[in-house]
């Protein structure tokens, strides 16, 4: 952290002269020390690629602003990230052989990404999206849930807790299905 002292010049414009460390007040010393500690923490946390991009910054404030620019980008970059995350959300489907826990993890990652970009969905929208993302074999179960539960009050985590045991029994049913056994033999 550099501390500057302003002096008036003959033409009226201020001239800045850097203050020497031994001229710092106690408050200035504390601020300089905090700046050094924060810089040290940031340096240790960054990977080599990001560090190369910020190593010319002289203050923590400069480093922080550069990190924001690197991570978030400009408005156009943010808009592109949001568009891509929304496309992931809209197209997400449970994959064949995927457990409910794996799907929950994948779905949650997309929702977290959207939230970090400023897009939030209501709990009801998330619940309906999960139900639509399930394979066709789940249609009967999700239809029954839609009729028996108030989807405005059903929390996403509760839905997923209901679906996880169902997914285990569904996998067992698939293993016992004679058509499925024939497919596995071939």
- Map out the domains of the chain as residue ranges: 4-72, 76-185
Q: Give the pLDDT confidence score for residue 16 in this predicted structure.
A: 55
* Structure tokens, 181: 């056994």
Alpha-carbon radius of gyration of the chain: 28
- Predicted pLDDT of residue 14: 58
User: What's the pLDDT at 104?
Assistant: 94
pLDDT, averaged per 10 consecutive residues of the chain (186 residues), comes to: 49 62 79 83 88 88 90 85 96 92 94 93 94 91 85 87 74 52 47
Beta bridge partners of 4: 18
Of 48, 49, 2, 62, which Cα lies nearest the Cα of 28? 2
What DSSP letter does each residue of 44-113 carry, written as one string? HHS-HHHHHHHTT--SHHHHHHHHHHHHH--HHHHHHHHHHHHHHHHH--PPTT--HHHHHHHHHHHHHH
pTM of the model: 0.60
Q: pLDDT value at position 15? A: 60
């Amino acid at each position: 952290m550099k501390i500057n002292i302003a002096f008036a010049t003959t033409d009226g414009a201020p001239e800045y002269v850097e203050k020497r460390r031994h001229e710092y007040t106690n408050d200035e010393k504390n601020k300089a020390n905090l700046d050094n500690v924060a810089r040290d923490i940031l340096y240790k946390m960054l990977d080599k690629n990001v560090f190369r991009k910020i190593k010319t910054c002289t203050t923590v404030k400069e480093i922080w602003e550069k990190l924001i620019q690197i991570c978030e980008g400009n408005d156009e970059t943010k808009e592109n990230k949001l568009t891509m995350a929304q496309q992931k959300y809209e197209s997400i489907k449970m994959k064949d052989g995927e457990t409910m826990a794996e799907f929950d993890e994948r779905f949650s990652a997309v929702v977290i990404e959207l939230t970090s970009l400023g897009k939030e969905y209501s709990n009801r929208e998330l619940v309906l999206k999960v139900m639509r993302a399930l394979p066709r074999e789940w249609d009967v179960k999700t239809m029954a849930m839609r009729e028996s539960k108030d989807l405005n009050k059903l929390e996403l985590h509760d839905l997923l807790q209901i679906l996880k045991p169902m997914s285990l029994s569904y996998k067992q049913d698939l293993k016992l299905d004679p058509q499925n056994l024939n497919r596995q033999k071939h």
